[in-house]
Structure 1
Amino acid sequence: MDEWVEQVDERDLVVAVVRRAEAVRRGWLHRIAVTMCRDREGRFLVHRRSGQVSRFPGHYEVAVGGAVAVGESYEAAAARELGEELGVQVPVRLVVKFLSLGGLSPHWLAIHEAVVLGRVRPDGDELVWHDWMTRSELSGFMRRQVFTPDSQEVLSRYVAADRPVPPEEW
């Protein structure tokens, strides 16, 4: 089933409501929200996409996320995707938003962060493997595995923002 998304302009203002597949096919800007998940020790959640998903099956990712639905905020979409893909309900915090020219088509990409203290219960239709890694472990892992096109930029922009959740907010 194809999702409905808001086509937006170069200022992230809504211009139309379209099907996501059409936005991707035509290269229309739309909105994507992702979340970098950290644990109590500051490690990053890394996961492998199912071979059954339509976009980048079997690829690894550093963030959980997806398309922002019509009328939905970036933050609401990020929180919804965490629930759908990881089975967790935790607060998300916006780190950075930028115009991404990578991936399947250009899109506005909002990177959020969340601290996940409880157990992760991934949706097996979406994710087939996950683990927590330090930044050093993740760097080596990314050199050896195939990641989604946005993963390196998401990690780079997240780290450059230098806004990890302070321990006192856990």
Structure 2
Amino acid sequence: MSEQDEWLDLVNRHDQVIGQITRENAWAKRQPVRVINAFLTNSRGELWIPRRTASKRMFPNCLDMSVGGHVERGEDYLSAFKRETLEELSLDVDALDWREIAVLSPFETGLSAFMRVYEIRTDSAPDFNPADFSEAWWLTPAELLARIAAGEPAKSDLAELVRRCYP
């Protein structure tokens, strides 16, 4: 499905569904939608941080969250987390040690969307989808923030999510 055909739930300031909108129109008109993000964390306190492929329409070649994606029309956050983790990392969430670590509103945080953030505990690097990511590293939160501060291109919400979730 192309981004132009991808339908999302449009939500109000309270994260209640009030309609539907295409992904393209949601971002063009800056309308509130829902997303999920997740970080893989290892026993050394490092985050698994991938680089998006050059072919990505938004944020090409940028550092990214371990998992991220839109909550599709009629879908809930948990279902989107499970779907995106399987699509991007070939990991079955039901077989993993995970937890929800943040519930965030764009109206209270300045982030790009309503989001739920999850953490997956593992010491193994995933077999990522090469259509999504080109390379990845295990980095401490401080190392990641230093790379972004030094000019490493990153997805717009990445630094703020790391600051909020791994202070």
TM-score (norm 1): 0.84
Distance (Å, rounded) in 2 between the aligned partners of 1:135 and 1:25:
31
Distance (Å, rounded) in 2 between the aligned partners of 1:138 and 1:27:
28
What is the CA-CA distance between 1:119 and the residue it aligns to?
4.2
Deviation string 1:72-117 (CA, Å, 9 cap, x unpaired) is 22122122111111122234421111122657xx421211111134
1:67 matched residue in structure 2: 70
Decide which moves more: 128-137 or 48-57.
128-137
SS at match of 2:166: helix
SS at match of 1:12: coil
CA contact (8 A) 2:141 2:162 kept: no
1:155 matched residue in structure 2: 162
1:88 matched residue in structure 2: 91
- Structure 2 residue runs of 5 or longer lacking an equivalent are none
CA contact (8 A) 2:56 2:132 kept: yes
Listed as ranges, the matches of 1:117-128 within 5 Å are 117-128=123-134
Deviation string 1:120-151 (CA, Å, 9 cap, x unpaired) is 11111110010111233223222231111100
Distance (Å, rounded) in 2 between the aligned partners of 1:69 and 1:52:
22
CA contact (8 A) 1:75 1:94 kept: no
1:110 matched residue in structure 2: 116
CA contact (8 A) 2:40 2:119 kept: yes
Deviation string 1:39-72 (CA, Å, 9 cap, x unpaired) is 2322101110001111111111234211001222
- Structure 1 residue runs of 5 or longer lacking an equivalent are 161-170
What is the CA-CA distance between 1:155 and the residue it aligns to?
0.6
1:167 matched residue in structure 2: none
1:99 equivalenced with 2:105 (yes/no)? yes
Q: Share of identical aligned residues, percent?
A: 23
User: In structure 2, what residue type is equivalent to 1:151?
Assistant: L
TM-score (norm 2): 0.86
SS at match of 1:65: strand
Distance (Å, rounded) in 2 between the aligned partners of 1:11 and 1:139:
30
Q: CA RMSD in A?
A: 1.8
